[in-house]
Amino acid sequence: MAAPKKKQHAAQKFVSTKPALRLVTEKGKLIKFINYSFVTSVPSEADYLKEQIDEGLNLISFEGAVTADDLDPMAGFRAKVEAEVRASIAKEQDGAATPSPIIPVAPLGAASSKTSVL
């Protein structure tokens, strides 16, 4: 049985020409570009930045809509590992997996005759 996929919310990604950039909206909201990028799912912030680009602000540009998977490079790897683990568990529950060999172990209190206690 496959795990249900989480609903993905699209966010808007903007990039700047500078590694760090701060813009302040008319309402005083601070927008910080870090490592050349700013990602938002708040429509008013996206609209403000698109408006600034349309007015000729050439320090930023709109890159497009992104999903959580786009922002997290490990998401695909995590999904693959999770699917493998779920398949392994399902296989074991079905009894199709071969049981692990049982290795006899001496009891904890049993010491060999060559062992000395200081």
Number of domains in the chain: 1
What residue numbers bound the domain in which 17 lies?
A: 11-71
Half-sphere exposure for 107 (CA within 13 Å, toward CB): 2
Q: What is the pLDDT of residue 74?
A: 81
Q: Is residue 118 part of a domain?
A: no
Q: Where are the alpha helices (DSSP H) in 1-118?
A: 43-54, 68-71, 75-93
Q: What pLDDT score was predicted for residue 30?
A: 94
Residue type, 107: P
* Section 40-69 average pLDDT: 90
Q: How far apart are CA 6 and CA 27, in angstroms?
A: 34
Tell me, yes or no, whether 25 lies in a domain: yes
pLDDT at 117 (0 to 100)? 54
Closest by CA to 57, choosing from 90, 96, 94, 15, is 15
Q: What angle do CA 21, 24, 29 make, to 5 degrees?
A: 120
pTM above 0.85, yes or no: no
Assigned domain for 3 exists: no
pLDDT of residue 52: 93
| pLDDT at site 4 | 45
Q: Is 114 a domain residue?
A: no
pLDDT tens profile 60-107: 999 988 877 777 778 778 888 888 988 888 888 776 545 566 666 666
